[in-house]
Amino acid sequence: MQLFYSLDITPNGLCTLDEEESRHAVRVMRLREGDDINVTDGRGNMYLCRIVVADPKACVVEPTEAHSTSPAPRAALHLSVAPTKNPARMEWLVEKAVEIGVGEITLLNCDHSERTFLKTDRLERLAVSAMKQSLHTVLPVVNPPVELKEWLRQSAKLFAPDTQKFIAHCEADQPRTPLASAMVAGRDAVVLIGPEGDFSAEEIALALDCGFQPVSLGHSRLRTETAALYATAAFNLINDR
Amino acid sequence: MQLFYSLDITPNGLCTLDEEESRHAVRVMRLREGDDINVTDGRGNMYLCRIVVADPKACVVEPTEAHSTSPAPRAALHLSVAPTKNPARMEWLVEKAVEIGVGEITLLNCDHSERTFLKTDRLERLAVSAMKQSLHTVLPVVNPPVELKEWLRQSAKLFAPDTQKFIAHCEADQPRTPLASAMVAGRDAVVLIGPEGDFSAEEIALALDCGFQPVSLGHSRLRTETAALYATAAFNLINDR
């Protein structure tokens, strides 16, 4: 099954796919008028649609049937991660995290971050593509970089009171619980993953003050993007029993 | 900490690092005679060594102290995976699986595999580099491709009787257990991950005959390399409580 994406799809009325989706349907997949495709709005809905105009720049489709999509996940993960120096590693992370299942990704500027210019719009395009690949119908949000400390100070407002909040730092001499033991199923979670030089002592202290629980991610020294993906896998495994 | 690798390192006597490790120590890290480095033999041992000859092609070191390394993992994962068409995706998988923790990787030729020529020696070099990066001292084995059906027929000989054996196939109308529920801690496991077109019905039947349990990996349609990494994360999470 091939899934297409359009924010504008609704149960009633025609919808014009954007240029990239139109090109993919008509040029790459060689679909024609009368062919059926599935289109999601990225907000949990999916429709069986018939192609009405097979224009490679503006393909027009008409919904014929609403699909019952898989039930909404009972909880969502908010992954907050300091971008790596190498943008390819972040791009890879976004693709894989969206495939496995993530609700929201926020990029963190930390005390030890190397501030590199990261194109959030490219990450958003990768998220769309991974959503379609994995047949998800909810498009994860990719937020532009925020200052960690400022963001922590607002965290009480940002997250519902029953959200599980974790900081995965590498200070082996401080108490930390393995993430798989600390996290429970069925509740939203936010996990902070630090930059290559780890969080600063000040950032860890502030996170703990703000109610974040310190967790460890196994016994390996993981790269930033590997740690973030491991946390994503943990969340999905714990919620898939 | 920077970790180096030499199969030849022993507690007693001088050891010459190979050309790649020598270049890395002397040219990249600019280490000199008298500097200390850590060297692992990839078999669970690690030694603090002093550089005796800082030759960028044949750096000679002398072990001064054996490190107590982290305890051997109580169980190991054997990941058996059909290579993806795109070799970069397999290379990425090897890097990430070694970082998170895997004992052995076997490449599977399946009925629906596209047989591509995959350089196992390149994967082995990536495994060495990921072992060093993650400070592991046991180098995972990367086996060259095997024919899945032949390999299954030998599986009773290949695996100890208490090894947990799983096949992660995508036939949603056949009974499967979520991997996280099926897998128990403290026992070796082998997980089969199929090619882009999934295992054939014949392969699934043969695997079940050979005592493999059918498992699912969440509700997403995962790419081959993502499924393999998800299984690796599951194994390590279950063993890290």
- Write the ipTM: 0.89
Which of A134, A220, A237 is nearest residue B237 as measured by Cβ atoms? Answer: A237
More confident residue, A86 or B229: B229
Which of A180, A222, A241 is nearest residue B134 as measured by Cβ atoms? Answer: A222
Kindly state the percentage of chain A with pLDDT values over 90: 80
Report pLDDT for B71. Answer: 65
- Give residue A7's identity as a one-letter amino acid code: L
Q: What gap in Å lies between CA A196 and CA A228, rounded to an integer?
A: 12
Q: What is the mean pLDDT of residues A149-155?
A: 95
pLDDT above 70 (res A117): no
Contacts of A134 in chain B (CB under 8 A): 220-222
Q: How far is B77 from chain A (nearest CA, A)?
A: 15
pLDDT above 80 (res B68): no
Contacts of B165 (CB under 8 A, 6+ apart): B155, B159, B189, B190, B210, B211, B212, B213
B152, B204 contact by CB (below 8 A): no
CB contact under 8 A, A135 and B220: yes
Report pLDDT for B226. Answer: 97
CB contact under 8 A, A134 and B221: yes
User: How many beta carbons lie within 10 A of that of residue A66, not counting itself?
Assistant: 12
Among B95, B219, B225, the strongest candidate for a mutation testing the A interface, having the largest count of A CBs within 10 A, is B219
Q: Compare all CA atoms of chain A with the CA of B1 and give the residue at the minimum distance.
A: A221
CB contact under 8 A, A241 and B181: yes
More confident residue, A221 or B192: B192
Report pLDDT for A187. Answer: 96
Report pLDDT for A68. Answer: 67
The CA angle A214-A236-B137, to the nearest 5 degrees, is 60
pLDDT above 70 (res B117): no
Q: What is the mean pLDDT of chain A?
A: 92
* B70 confidence band (pLDDT: 50, 70, 90): low
B219, B137 contact by CB (below 8 A): no
pLDDT above 80 (res B69): no
pLDDT above 80 (res A167): yes
Return the sign of the alpha-carbon dihedral for residues B31, B49, B98, A106: negative
Which of A99, A100, A240 is nearest residue B180 as measured by Cβ atoms? Answer: A240
The CA angle B169-A182-A137, to the nearest 5 degrees, is 45
pLDDT above 90 (res A220): no
Count chain A–chain B contacts defined by CB atoms under 8 A.
88
Which of A133, A180, A241 is nearest residue B237 as measured by Cβ atoms? Answer: A180
Q: What gap in Å lies between CA B228 and CA B234, rounded to an integer?
A: 10
Report pLDDT for A118. Answer: 74
B138, B192 contact by CB (below 8 A): no
Q: What is the mean pLDDT of chain B?
A: 92
Which of B96, B179, B223 is nearest residue A226 as measured by Cβ atoms? Answer: B96
pLDDT above 90 (res B218): no
Among B38, B221, B224, B225, the strongest candidate for a mutation testing the A interface, having the largest count of A CBs within 10 A, is B221
Among A100, A170, A177, the strongest candidate for a mutation testing the B interface, having the largest count of B CBs within 10 A, is A100
Please report, to the nearest 10 degrees, the dihedral formed by the alpha carbons of residues B47, B51, B55, B60 taken in order. Answer: -50
Q: How far is B214 from chain A (nearest CA, A)?
A: 15
CB contact under 8 A, B226 and A101: no
pLDDT above 80 (res B28): yes
pLDDT above 90 (res B119): no
Q: What is the mean pLDDT of residues B89-105?
A: 96
B165, B211 contact by CB (below 8 A): yes
Q: Which residues pair with B106 in a beta bridge?
A: B80, B143
Q: What gap in Å lies between CA B79 and CA B189, rounded to an integer?
A: 8
- Six-digit token string for A117: 């210019």
Q: How far is B175 from chain A (nearest CA, A)?
A: 15
pLDDT above 90 (res A115): no
Q: What gap in Å lies between CA B51 and CA B70, rounded to an integer?
A: 24
Delineate the domains of chain A, giving CATH numbers in brackets: 3-66 (2.40.240.20), 77-238 (3.40.1280.10)
CB contact under 8 A, A100 and B178: no
Which of B178, B223, B236 is nearest residue A240 as measured by Cβ atoms? Answer: B178
Contacts of B135 in chain A (CB under 8 A): 220-221
What are B158-185's pLDDT values in tens digits?
A: 999 999 999 999 988 899 999 999 999 9
Q: What is the mean pLDDT of residues A198-221?
A: 94
The model's pTM: 0.91
Q: Which residue has the tokens 């790459």?
A: A28
- Six-digit token string for B26: 């002397």
How many helices (DSSP H) and strands (DSSP E) are in chain A? 8, 12
Q: What gap in Å lies between CA B192 and CA B152, rounded to an integer?
A: 10
Q: How far is A157 from chain B (nearest CA, A)?
A: 31
* B74 confidence band (pLDDT: 50, 70, 90): confident
Q: What is the mean pLDDT of residues B85-89?
A: 90
Q: Compare all CA atoms of chain A with the CA of B73 and give the residue at the minimum distance.
A: A219
Q: What is the mean pLDDT of residues A157-162?
A: 93
CB contact under 8 A, A180 and B240: yes
CB contact under 8 A, B134 and A221: yes
